[in-house]
């Protein structure tokens, strides 16, 4: 039974149950129908006897004979009537001639008696005639009635039932089989649909909907499967995105290390060459004091570059910093102080326009790192007698500096590690191409939208930080 599929299981269970019900029902009909029909016949005879008495009271002699004859003919009965001196007998069965004085017939016992004006009736069997009878007596004010009524109708009903019941049972069983097939199909069909959908889901196809439009447990099951599958696809999609992010991060790490090694190679080679030439007392390198100063400067650049590299790596790996709500207006006012001093020393005009009480929620420590790099770059790449401007509103922070505008081609690359403009490489800015790279990684980690673009008057650059999703 365990290996049988669902459809035959359901069909066998339903059809077996229905056949059992049919058999039991027909058996009960067969066994109880004679008793029920017997009770029904007795009630009809009683009612007819009551009506007979009423008609005898109302009729003349010929009318009395007529109503008695009608009763006898209707019920195929022996009847003896004694009504106010009117005596009339009809012998259609001939039972009375077989009665003995002790209340018995030659072949059967008659059990019928009067008790408290109620007729008690029992069925007796005449074995010679193979016929059942009702023996009934009725006594009333003007006389009495004695009658034998044939139970032949009940016997005929039993015989007919023996013919009809097998036919009805066969028809019922046939209908049950058809109904069981249809019901099994109705039950199994949505389950088969769910099974097919789940097979399609194995291939992780998108757009598969397991929807059964029923208001029952199967409909709920299909909805739950659909929800589970969509959730599963979403999880897979998220995992794929994370894998892609990890892959890109690994690629960026390799590119970063390659760029870092390239950037570090030049000053290290220069320092090594100068030190070797000083050791050999070669040419101009005999002036060791001069070239030791250059070596010190190169080592400082290396130190600064290594620190920046470590800072950028630390930022990318920081996951322990939690978000907090703070006043950005106060923070920027505190951050710009050292850059105001630096700008004054370079002869740069430093302007600020900061609104009060701009509350935001983000990782404060990382945002400080990004703002410091933006402010540092703004002051670093602004020439003397030019200006740096800091603006803060409820929706954005803007840091502008007057400088040579950067074209779109370079803007796309300027956030890469160690990327510097050609004209910048020859300037003594001290830049190493990591500042904007750190800014980019930090703001991406904070999920903060930003723009870096030329000013409208094309006299400088502006860095715009959107605050909409932080408020």
Give the model confidence (pLDDT) of 347-359 as tens digits: 999 999 999 999 9
Q: How far is residue 445 CA from its own chain's centroid? A: 34
Is residue 173 domain-resident? no
**Calpha distance 330→356 (Å, rounded):** 8
pLDDT value for 396: 93
pLDDT value for 398: 94
Say which residues have a Cβ less than 8 Å from residue 463's Cβ, sequence separation at least 6: 374, 378, 398, 399, 400, 450, 451, 452
Structure tokens at 278: 């000083």
Q: Which of 142, 141, 143, 123 is nearest to 133 (CA)?
A: 123
- The conformational region for residue 80 under phi > 0 = left, psi -120 to 50 = alpha, else beta, is beta
Of 130, 158, 186, the position where a domain reaches its end is: 158
Judge whether residue 460 has pLDDT over 70: yes
Structure tokens at 37: 């029909």
pLDDT band at 463 (very low <50, low <70, confident <90, very high): very high
- DSSP assignment of 375-387 equals HHHHHHT--TT-E
Is residue 437 domain-resident? yes
**Calpha distance 38→123 (Å, rounded):** 9
**Calpha distance 401→393 (Å, rounded):** 18
pLDDT value for 98: 42
pLDDT band at 464 (very low <50, low <70, confident <90, very high): very high
Of 158, 175, 208, the position where a domain reaches its end is: 158
Burial class (CB within 10 angstroms; exposed 0-12, middle 13-18, buried 19+) of 75: buried
**Calpha distance 222→193 (Å, rounded):** 9
Judge whether residue 390 has pLDDT over 90: yes
pLDDT-wise least confident of 32-36, 162-166, 430-434, 456-460? 430-434
Q: Average model confidence (pLDDT) for the chain?
A: 77
Mean pLDDT over 361-377 rounds to 89
Mean pLDDT over 34-55 rounds to 82
Which of helix, strand or coil describes residue 350? strand
**Calpha distance 79→190 (Å, rounded):** 70
Q: What angle do CA 359, 360, 361 make, to 5 degrees?
A: 135
**Calpha distance 355→467 (Å, rounded):** 13
pLDDT value for 296: 81
Is residue 463 domain-resident? yes
**Calpha distance 423→147 (Å, rounded):** 138
| Domains identified in the chain, total number | 2
Any bridge partners for residue 402, and if so which? 460
**Calpha distance 397→466 (Å, rounded):** 7
pLDDT value for 255: 64
pLDDT band at 319 (very low <50, low <70, confident <90, very high): low
- The conformational region for residue 433 under phi > 0 = left, psi -120 to 50 = alpha, else beta, is left
pLDDT-wise least confident of 82-91, 189-198, 306-315? 306-315
Sheet hosting strand 396-402, strand order edge to edge: 349-354, 387-392, 396-402, 460-466, 450-454
pLDDT band at 67 (very low <50, low <70, confident <90, very high): confident
Tell me which of 205 and 231 has the higher pLDDT: 231
Mean pLDDT over 96-112 rounds to 39
Contact between residue 374 and residue 439 where contact means Cβ atoms under 8 Å apart? yes
Is residue 350 domain-resident? yes
430-436: which pairs have CB atoms within 8 A and are 24 or more residues apart? 430/301, 430/304, 430/380, 431/377, 431/380, 431/381, 432/263, 432/301, 432/304, 432/305, 432/308, 433/263, 434/305, 434/308, 434/309, 434/311, 434/312, 435/308, 435/373, 435/376, 435/377, 436/373, 436/377
**Calpha distance 61→70 (Å, rounded):** 14
pLDDT band at 114 (very low <50, low <70, confident <90, very high): very low
Is residue 58 domain-resident? yes
Is residue 387 domain-resident? yes
Tell me which of 360 and 10 has the higher pLDDT: 360
Burial class (CB within 10 angstroms; exposed 0-12, middle 13-18, buried 19+) of 222: buried
Mean pLDDT over 102-115 rounds to 40
CB atoms within 10 A of CB 405: 15
Tell me which of 48 and 434 has the higher pLDDT: 48
Is residue 311 domain-resident? no
Judge whether residue 107 has pLDDT over 60: no
Of 127, 158, 189, the position where a domain reaches its end is: 158
Mean pLDDT over 435-444 rounds to 83
Domain extent at residue 440: 320-470
Say which residues have a Cβ less than 8 Å from residue 75's Cβ, sequence separation at least 6: 45, 48, 147, 149, 150
pLDDT value for 229: 76
Alpha carbons within 13 A on the beta-carbon side of 421: 17
Is residue 94 domain-resident? yes
Mean pLDDT over 58-69 rounds to 81
Q: What is the CATH number of the domain that holds 462?
A: 3.30.565.10
Mean pLDDT over 452-470 rounds to 89
Size (the chain), residues: 471
């Amino acid at each position: 039974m365990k290996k049988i599929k669902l459809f035959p299981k359901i069909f066998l269970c339903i059809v077996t149950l229905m056949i059992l019900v049919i058999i039991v029902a027909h058996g009960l009909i067969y066994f109880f129908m004679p008793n029920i029909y017997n009770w029904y016949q007795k009630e009809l005879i009683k009612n007819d006897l009551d009506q007979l008495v009423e008609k005898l009271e109302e009729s003349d002699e010929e009318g009395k004979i007529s109503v008695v004859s009608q009763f006898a003919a209707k019920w195929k009965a022996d009847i003896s009537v004694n009504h106010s001196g009117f005596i009339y007998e009809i012998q259609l069965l001939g039972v009375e001639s077989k009665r003995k004085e002790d209340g018995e017939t030659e072949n059967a016992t008659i059990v019928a008696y009067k008790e408290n004006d109620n007729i008690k009736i029992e069925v007796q069997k005449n074995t010679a005639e193979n016929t059942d009878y009702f023996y009934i007596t009725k006594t009333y004010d003007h006389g009495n009635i004695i009658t034998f009524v044939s139970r032949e109708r009940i016997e005929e009903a039993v015989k007919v039932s023996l013919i009809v019941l097998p036919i009805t049972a066969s028809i019922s069983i046939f209908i049950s089989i058809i109904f069981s097939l249809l019901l099994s199909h109705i039950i199994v069909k949505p389950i088969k649909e769910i099974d097919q959908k789940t097979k399609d889901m194995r291939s992780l196809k998108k757009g598969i909907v397991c929807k059964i439009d029923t208001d029952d447990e199967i409909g709920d099951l299909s909805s739950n499967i659909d929800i589970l599958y969509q959730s599963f696809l979403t999880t897979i999609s998220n995992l794929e995105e994370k894998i892609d992010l990890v892959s890109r991060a690994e690629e960026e790490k390799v590119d970063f290390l390659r760029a870092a090694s390239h950037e570090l190679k030049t000053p290290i080679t220069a320092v090594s060459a100068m030190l070797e030439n000083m050791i050999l007392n070669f040419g101009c390198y005999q002036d060791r004091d001069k070239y030791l100063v250059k070596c010190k400067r190169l080592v400082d650049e290396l130190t600064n570059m290594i620190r920046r590299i470590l800072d950028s790596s630390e930022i990318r790996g920081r996951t322990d910093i939690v978000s907090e709500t703070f006043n950005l207006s106060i923070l920027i006012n505190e951050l710009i102080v050292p850059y105001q001093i630096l700008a004054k020393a370079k002869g740069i005009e430093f302007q600020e326009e900061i609104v009060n009480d701009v509350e935001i929620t983000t990782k404060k420590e990382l945002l400080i790192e990004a703002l410091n790099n933006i402010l540092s770059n703004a002051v670093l790449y602004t020439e003397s007698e030019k200006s740096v401007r800091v603006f803060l509103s409820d929706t954005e922070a803007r840091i502008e500096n007057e400088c040579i505008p950067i074209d779109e081609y370079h803007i796309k690359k300027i956030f890469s590690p160690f990327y510097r403009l050609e004209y910048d490489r020859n300037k003594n800015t001290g830049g190493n191409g990591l500042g904007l790279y750190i800014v980019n990684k930090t703001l991406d980690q904070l999920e903060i939208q930003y723009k870096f673009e030329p000013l409208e008057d094309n006299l400088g650059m502006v860095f715009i930080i959107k605050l909409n999703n932080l408020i």
